[in-house]
Amino acid sequence: MNNTYVVGHKNPDTDSVVSAMAYAALRNALGDREYKAVRLDHISDETKRMLKMFGFDSPERIRDVRTQVSDIDFDTPTTLDPSVTLARAWEVMHEEQTTAIPVVNPDGTLYGTLSSSDIATFTLNSINDPLVTDLPLFNLLGVIEGRILKDSAGMGDSVSGEIVIALPLAEGSLLFKGRDNIVLCGDQPDMIRRALKENVNCLILCGTNLAPDFLSEFGDSETCVIFTPLDALKVSKLICQATPIMRTCTKGDIVVFHLADYIDDVRETVLKNRFRSYPVLDENDRVVGTLSRYHLLRPRRKKVVLVDHNESAQAVPGLEQADLLEIIDHHRLADIQTTQPIHVRNEPVGSTTTIVAEIYREHGVTPTPSMAGLMTSAILSDTVMFKSPTCTKRDIAMAERLSKIAGVSIEDIGKELFDASASDSKTAEQLIGTDFKEFHIAGQTLGVSQIVCVDSGKMLERKSEFMDSMETLRKKNGYDMVILMLTDVLVEGTHLLYLGSDDIIRFAFSTEPSDNHVFLPGVMSRKKQIIPMLTALWG
């Protein structure tokens, strides 16, 4: 629950995923907090191939960083089995200074809840109605510190009846009748004889040694005889406290919360109820603690590091409820705001992974060969094999250094990275969604997807499929324009398909479009060659 999440942007590309993994690995190697790389959406086939090539699993997927019950320092009181006595439950409450305890089944799931008011109510009711039914014998012996002097074959493992104290001044009166009573006696020979003669259900001898003589005299009695060192008054109060808590705890429709529940929803539920505490369950419905109103006052916020983006539209949902610690990026500065100063590292290079690799060098840490290979693939992916205008000498030098550590050539990584057959089985919708980003420029909202390939002609054969999917996206999200970049590594240019104004494309790129299509030679970068031109036009 104390993880610091390192996360890239929505629709993560290889650079986004790998920079998060590499930075989390570095911070953990440096002995910092428990950093954990995560992702927001499905990863592309390209990224999957790179992860597989270097022996990594995909990072865990998260949907948002809103505050959850798991972020709260809730209480973890002792849980009790339903068979535990009220007396023991009360001791636990006193020891732990709590007023409510979860009652759990043997498998850890919730049976019910027991509060101090439940115990008080049961105890007060027992004063007016001193009757016990099927009270487990083991429970009774434990509570009154008793031992059995004479068992009763017909009684079984429990005792039942109205509790009667045989007072000396009332020996001449009829205080009990046969099997319906549990009789408490002291040094009262006549009362002991009467109880045994009447075959009362249970005779409890309180601090007396008269039992052996009378037991031989009434050997055929069916009465269960118990000795306790406690006095009769105390025993009379304790008998009801031997009742199993399963008979007094609250069961049925209990308001519970799970670790994954969001605090916003929890607060709303708590305001509608007046319970002192609420059980907290894990994903398997096992009890892990209890939550009270005061726990909601200052919940821990999730800690987050953003990589490869700094724009709210691309960031993890719920970021406003989290503590943003750092941003590591190579894009333009956008609109993310913070409540306090944070570390921001934004550099004009072709890949965020290049910046992360530089941080490795600054701390004197060498990535493992497998991590170095993965980082090389991220740099090659984001710089389109060094052909993107965003690529710098630093990217090239860092990729070459990392590939040597990995023991894999840049050419071999590139062949696997831009596998020409990888997109054959994908739908147009899946291909567009692989590397899709949303931008807000001067009141205009546009979606821009980029597919890097080695055979753009084959991709253009599917133009009608792409245009249909782009139209669906435009209607669904209300985009002013949707653009698809088919970036060809071999010809070093981009076939640009679009939905929107022809004039925008004409003036932004100084070319004449035809049937929603233009070819832009030398254009390889969405960040540096597409978005700036549209920004300049609309701005």
What are the residues facing 446 on neighbouring strands?
Answer: 439, 481
pLDDT at 1: 54
Mapped onto helix, strand or coil, the DSSP state of residue 426 is coil
Percent of the chain with pLDDT over 70: 94
pLDDT score recorded for residue 179: 66
Q: Which of 163-172, 268-277, 420-429, 445-454 has the lowest mean pLDDT?
A: 163-172
Q: Counting Cβ atoms within 10 Å, is residue 406 exposed (0-12), middle (13-18) or buried (19+)?
A: buried
pLDDT at 468: 96
What pLDDT sits at residue 466?
Answer: 96
Asked whether residue 19 carries a pLDDT value surpassing 90, the answer given is yes
At 538, list the tokens. 């609309």
pLDDT recorded at residue 173: 52
User: For position 89, what pLDDT does the model report?
Assistant: 93
pLDDT of residue 426: 83
pLDDT tens per residue, range 78-90: 999 999 999 999 9
pLDDT at 24 > cutoff 80: yes
Tracing tokens 């007072």 back to the chain, one arrives at 167
Which carries the bigger pLDDT value, residue 300 or residue 170? 300
In the chain, % helix, strand, coil (3-state, to 5) comes to 40, 25, 35
Q: What is the pLDDT at residue 176?
A: 63
Domains of the chain, with CATH numbers?
4-67+302-417 (3.90.1640.10), 428-538 (3.10.310.20)
Residues 46-88 pLDDT 10s: 899 999 999 999 999 999 999 999 988 899 889 999 999 999 9
Of 407 and 148, more confident: 407
What's the pLDDT score for residue 180?
A: 80
d(CA 101, CA 114): 5
pLDDT at residue 530 is higher than 60: yes
Report the C-alpha gap between 451 and 442 in whole angstroms.
26
67 within 8 A of 43, measured Cβ to Cβ? no
Higher confidence at residue 217 or residue 471?
471
Rg, C-alpha atoms of the chain: 37
More confident residue, 234 or 360: 360
Least confident of 99-103, 162-166, 409-413: 162-166
Between residues 405 and 276, which one has the greater pLDDT?
A: 405
The per-residue pLDDT for 33 is 75
Q: Mean of the pLDDT values across residues 463-477?
A: 95
Average pLDDT over residues 242-261: 92
Q: What is the predicted pLDDT for the residue at 177? A: 63
- Please determine, for residue 421, whether its predicted confidence score (pLDDT) is greater than 60: no
Collapse the DSSP code of 380 into the 3-class scheme (helix H, G, I; strand E, B; otherwise coil) and give the result: helix
Q: Which residues contact 103 (CB under 8 A, 6 or more apart)?
A: 79, 80, 81, 82, 110, 111, 112, 113, 114, 245, 246, 249
Residue with tokens 């009774």: 140
Residue 148: both structure tokens together:
């059995």
What gap in Å lies between CA 288 and CA 261, rounded to an integer? Answer: 14
CB 348 within 8 A of CB 326: no
Q: How far apart are CA 361 and CA 350, in angstroms?
A: 18
Q: Quick one: pLDDT at residue 155?
A: 58
Report the amino acid identity of residue 75.
D
Asked if pLDDT for residue 20 goes beyond 60, the answer is yes
Q: Report the length, in residues, of the chain.
A: 539
Report CA torsion sign: 270, 275, 279, 283: negative
107: left (phi > 0), else alpha (psi -120 to 50), else beta?
alpha
pLDDT value of residue 196: 84
406 vs 402: CA distance, rounded Å = 6
* Alpha carbons 438 and 44: distance in angstroms, whole number: 17
Query: For tokens 């406290």, what's the residue?
Result: 241
Cα–Cα distance measured from residue 472 to residue 232, given in angstroms and rounded to the nearest whole number: 83
Does the structure show a pLDDT above 60 at 390?
yes
Q: Please, what is the average pLDDT of the chain?
A: 89
Q: What confidence tier does 289 reach under pLDDT thresholds 50, 70, 90?
A: very high
More reliable by pLDDT, 98 or 179: 98
Give the distance between the most distant pair of CA atoms in the chain: 119
Do the beta carbons of residue 236 and residue 143 sit within 8 Å? no
Which amino acid would we find at residue 422? A
Question: What is the distance in angstroms between the CA of the first residue and the CA of the last residue of the chain?
Answer: 44
Q: Which of 22-26, 184-188, 353-357, 531-535 has the lowest mean pLDDT?
A: 184-188
The answer, as to whether pTM is greater than 0.75, is no
Q: With cut-offs at 50, 70 and 90, classify the pLDDT of residue 375.
A: very high
Poorest-pLDDT segment among 153-167, 249-263, 332-346: 153-167
CA 185, CA 225: separation in Å to the nearest integer?
Answer: 11
Return the minimum-mean-pLDDT range out of 120-129, 179-188, 227-236, 416-425.
416-425
Span 467-477, mean pLDDT? 95
Q: Indicate the pLDDT class of residue 154, thresholds 50, 70 and 90.
A: low
Q: What is the rounded average pLDDT of the residues 329-356?
A: 93
Average pLDDT over residues 419-443: 82
Q: Which two tokens stand for residue 404?
A: 């040597």
Q: Tokens 């009846």, residue? A: 161
Residue 289 backbone class (left: φ over 0; alpha: ψ -120 to 50; beta: rest): left
pLDDT (mean) for 196-207: 87
Q: Which residue has the higher pLDDT, 168 or 141?
A: 141
Assign 3-class secondary structure to 94-152. HHHCCCEEEEECCCCEEEEEEEHHHHHHHHHHHHHCCEEEEEEHHHHHHHHCCEEEECC
Residues 6+ apart with CB under 8 A from 346: 310, 327, 328, 329, 330, 331, 333
Residue 458 is predicted with a pLDDT of: 87
Residue 121 has pLDDT above 70, yes or no: yes
Host H or E run for residue 304: strand 303-307
- The DSSP annotation for 441-473 comes to ETTEEEEEEEEEES-HHHHHTTHHHHHHHHHHH
Query: Looking at per-residue confidence, does 155 or 364 come out higher?
Result: 364
Query: Which two structure tokens, joined as six digits, stand for 297?
Result: 């006052």
Q: Which two tokens stand for residue 48?
A: 């999957």
Give me the mean pLDDT over the 130-144 stretch: 89
